[in-house]
Amino acid sequence: MPPPTGSSSAFTSTDPFIVQTLDLVRRGRFTVARQVLLSPPKGSDHQAASELLDIIERISSAYDLDDEAMLKKIRASIPDVTENDLKGWRDAGQLQFREIDGKVRYFNREPANLFRFCPVAIARRKSSPAKTESGWTLESHLRDVIKAAGMQTSPLVVPVHHRARYQLTVNPTAPGFKKDATVSVWLPFPQEHDRQRDVKLISTSRSDFTVAPKDAPQRTLYFQQRIENATTPLPFEERFEFTSFAYYLRLDDSKAKPLPSDFPRNELAERPPHIRFTPELRQAASKIIGDETNPLVAARKIFRFVTQSMRYCAEEEYSTIPSICEKGITKLCGDCGVHAILFITLCRISGIPARWQSGWQTKPHALDMHDWAEFYVAPFGWLPADPTYGAELKDHADPAIRDFYFGHQDSYRMIVNTDYGTPLIPPKHSLRSEPLDFQRGEVEIDGRNVYFGDWEYDMQIER
């Protein structure tokens, strides 16, 4: 069996009809694409056609702001913004937009990226109130980890106990939400892992549920419920606890060994569409690595390339991105998952096994979803790598802090996924809202996917 793609079949189909229609979507001809997809020719890939229709709607909902709506959002920070400003920022590639059916439509997460990439907009922006400091800093935590690692032989240090509450609520306005319809919900649940232990389910909102096995690559807690009242939101809740360990192993370049010849090939291989060994990516890997033969040094070079070259941005949903590695190397910007996939792809091209890992970041006052990676170098084994955090520290004066996230990890994580795109338990048959990652959950009503805008989630961590 080929590995799961983590993608819609529309992005992997070789059907000429799908390929041609996908080109219409790329060119912003959504109306024409919808029309042809509603009447696919006999013998065409009907699943891909159906999913591509869904993707068109997802992109349309993500790019739903016209000039007036965009100006209104920006005026909250720049009161005197004009239409000429918008045009200048579009032309400079600083304001994310698409042309859809001949009309300019802006990304609904803007102006987040404008205020990352446009110096003029940043300078004109009204200052925001200062945030209250919690007293906790990432740098002080990393120093505690390094100090603790120097006082013991185990690389697992500074354990942090977490108690979590997660609630997903399906809105009564969701498509198909009606009396006697069946709602299926998959919630994220923590992995049993070397760096994450003592996982315990404390309580759930329903007595009948299914927890995925400990070896499930994307670990879930599953509910199914019949709708009794079609006017009332339907909540699903779990409470659990776990202990997360920081990981700090002293890495000595001189001890790195070549990869054993019998090492499994699956974590060295392409995995279209998100891990592809394109000529552009091969060329980039060759330029980064040069003639380096030490795998640990080579992996560090790749890590530094990603941390120093990639910019962080508010990202589109992964289900709408045809190839994450190609997006990363072409645009050199993206969120944590784009950073991680680019690192993984460049490592694999260079003969260094690498794989996906993701879940939540649980730093005090900074709880959110997060993606990172692992890479393998003998004799050290699998090592964590977080290019996004590495980018935040790339200019730090202390090398131990600057390179901390190459081979090491902090204590503030919840690991949900050790792979991407794998079947949920029980399987979800419709196109997932997030086909690649799994951190927020998934919802179906009578076997049909319910997209993100039709349900809400709330994540809380207590310590």
Over 70: is that where the pLDDT of 387 sits? yes
pLDDT for res 365: 85
Distances (CA, A) of 111 to 155, 388, 441: 42, 21, 27
What percentage of the chain carries pLDDT values higher than 70? 98
pLDDT tens string 112-138: 999 999 999 999 998 766 555 568 999
**Predicted pLDDT at 4:** 95
**Mean pLDDT computed over every residue of the chain:** 96
Helix (H, G, I), strand (E, B) or coil at 76: coil
Mean pLDDT score, 16-20: 97
The confidence score (pLDDT) of residue 135 equals 83
Identity at 330, one-letter amino acid code: T
3-state secondary structure 305-349: HHHHHCEECCCCCHHHCCCHHHHHHHHCEECHHHHHHHHHHHHHH
d(CA 144, CA 122): 35
Spatial separation of the C-alpha atoms in residues 225 and 232, rounded to whole Å: 14
Cis (ω within 30 of 0) for the bond into 2? Answer: no
pLDDT at 133: 57
Taking the C-alpha atoms of residue 403 and residue 306, their distance in angstroms, rounded to an integer, is 12
- Token pair 């910007």 is at which residue? 333
pLDDT higher than threshold 60 for residue 13 = yes
Going through 231-290 in order, the beta strands assigned E by DSSP cover 234-247
At a CB cut-off of 8 Å and minimum separation 6, what does 202 contact? 163, 239, 240, 241
Note the pLDDT tens digit of each residue in 392-451. 999 999 999 999 999 999 999 999 999 999 999 999 989 999 999 999 999 999 999 999
pLDDT value at residue 131: 58
Question: pLDDT (tens digit, 9 = 90+) per residue, 33-92?
Answer: 999 999 999 999 999 999 999 999 999 999 999 999 999 999 999 999 999 999 999 999
Q: What is the pLDDT of residues 255-309, one digit of tens each?
A: 999 999 999 999 999 999 999 999 999 999 999 999 999 999 999 999 999 999 9
CA pair distance 43, 445, nearest whole angstrom: 29
Give 463's pLDDT tier (boundaries 50, 70, 90): confident
The CATH architecture to which 249-408 belongs is Roll (3.10)
Maximum pairwise Cα distance, the chain: 69
pLDDT of 130 reads 57
How confident is the model over 135-171, as pLDDT tens digits? 899 999 999 999 999 999 999 999 999 999 999 999 9
**Cα(169)–Cα(235) distance, integer angstroms:** 4
Query: How many angstroms separate the CA atoms of 283 and 303, rounded?
Result: 16
Model pLDDT, residue 301: 98
What pLDDT, on a 0 to 100 scale, did the predictor assign at position 91? 96
Kindly list the domain boundaries of the chain, sorted by start residue.
9-62, 68-124, 145-246+418-462, 249-408
- Give me the torsion for CA of 270, 275, 278, 283, rounded to 10°: -100
**CA separation (Å) from 372 to 304, 390, 406, 418?**
15, 11, 11, 10
Convert the pLDDT of each residue in 191-215 to its tens digit. Answer: 999 999 999 999 999 999 999 999 9
Contacts of 95 (CB under 8 A, 6+ apart): 70, 86, 89, 106, 110, 111, 113, 114, 118
Q: Which residues contact 424 (CB under 8 A, 6 or more apart)?
A: 186, 212, 218, 220, 222, 432, 438, 442
- The secondary element (H helix, E strand) that includes residue 417 is strand 413-417
- What average pLDDT does range 87-101 have in this prediction? 97
Whether the full predicted model's pTM is greater than 0.85, yes or no, is: yes
Helices (runs of H) and strands (runs of E) counted in the chain? 14, 17
DSSP 195: T
Distance (Å, rounded) from C-alpha 446 to C-alpha 457? 21
Q: How far is 170 from 456, CA to CA, in rounded Å?
A: 7
DSSP classification of residue 239: E
Contact 351, 292 (CB under 8 A): no
| Distances in whole angstroms, Cα of residue 26 to Cα of each of 22, 30, 222 | 6, 9, 36
- pLDDT number for residue 129: 63
